[in-house]
Amino acid sequence: MKKIKNSRMWKGFFINMLGVIIAIILTFGVNSLWEKHEENKRTKEMLILVRNELVANKEYFKNHERELMKDRYVYKKILDSNSNFAEIDEDTLKVYLSQAISWSDFQLTTFAWQIFQNSEMIQKITDKELVIRLTACYFLIEKGREVMMNEYWDKKKNTKTFELEPVPFFETLLKNKEAVYFYTIWSMDLNNNTFWNIFPLVYAFIDYTVMLLDKHGDYRYDMDEKDNEFESFLNAKIDSFINARIQE
């Protein structure tokens, strides 16, 4: 009788222990799944911020390009006038002056990318093409901004003189060899100035990276094959942009 009682006691003990072990395993398992869910959620939210930041940076480049195109138009008109400003009405000349003495504070935002690349989230993304393209894309847009500021806006500041009236301003400007050289270069045909090619390149990089972000998942890639696809995408985008610009 005692033997049966002990047997039942041990059986109950093991059942209870088994229940406790299963409960612990379930608790840790559920917690682990929840943590992974929350981690994936945070990563997704961060990638959305990065995506929106890239779209905003593309618009910054477009605004910057529009300003350069305005400059190009004004420089060409002034140079073509051969100092005969009487042919240009006063209001138009004032608009030209306003454009000629203005410069851009070229905005760029990389806040979301800086947070993301310095976090643990980026290390857990198995989509290596996405990480590679994101890194390359931000490197390009940051270098593009540096080139714009150093090669264009800083030089523009150095070539301009301040006059109150348009005619004296442009007369002085056209006597400045450095200014004439700068304006001649920038009033050139778009297709003969390689500097302008940075815009379609940036737009294509951003478009491709945004496309990857929109379809992000746990992908496995043959990177050689993906590099060929990437190059084809960029070339098609750049050709399309240049062809559209030629027809303008």
The two structure tokens encoding residue 228? 């060929």
- For 1-17, what is the mean pLDDT? 57
Mean pLDDT of 194-218: 84
Q: Name the CA dihedral angle for 163, 73, 147, 162, rounded to a multiple of 10 degrees.
A: 0
Give the number of other CB atoms < 10 A from CB of residue 153: 17
Q: For 46-61, what is each residue's pLDDT tens digit?
A: 889 999 999 999 999 9
Domain residue limits, the chain: 46-246
- Give pLDDT tens digits for 73-120: 888 888 888 888 888 888 999 999 988 888 877 778 999 999 998 888
The predicted pLDDT at position 198 comes to 85
Q: How does pLDDT run across 167-193, given as a tens digit for each residue?
A: 888 888 888 888 888 888 887 766 656
Nearest in space to 61 (alpha carbons), one of 119, 160, 148: 148
Residue 126 to residue 190: CA distance in whole angstroms: 41
Reading the block at residue 41, the tokens are 């959620």
Burial label, 2 (beta-carbon count in 10 A; 0-12, 13-18, 19+): exposed
Measured between alpha carbons, how far is residue 40 from residues 69, 121, 198 in Å?
43, 9, 35
State residue 139's pLDDT score.
Answer: 94
Give 231 or 4, the one with higher predicted confidence. 231
| Token pair belonging to 67 | 């300003």
The two tokens of residue 205 are: 């990089």
Q: What is the CA radius of gyration of the chain?
A: 31
User: Dihedral through CA 108, CA 114, CA 117, CA 122, nearest 10?
Assistant: -90
Give CA–CA dist 64/196, Å, rounded. 11
Q: Percentage of the chain with pLDDT > 70? A: 75
Indicate the burial class of 76 (C-beta count within 10 angstroms; 0-12, 13-18, 19 or more): middle
Main-chain dihedrals φ then ψ at residue 187, nearest 5 degrees: -95, 5
**Cα gap 225→37, rounded to integer Å:** 32
Burial class of 57 by CB neighbour count within 10 A (0 to 12, 13 to 18, 19+): buried
Place of tokens 């504070």: 105
3-state helix, strand, coil split of the chain in percent (to 5) is 80, 0, 20
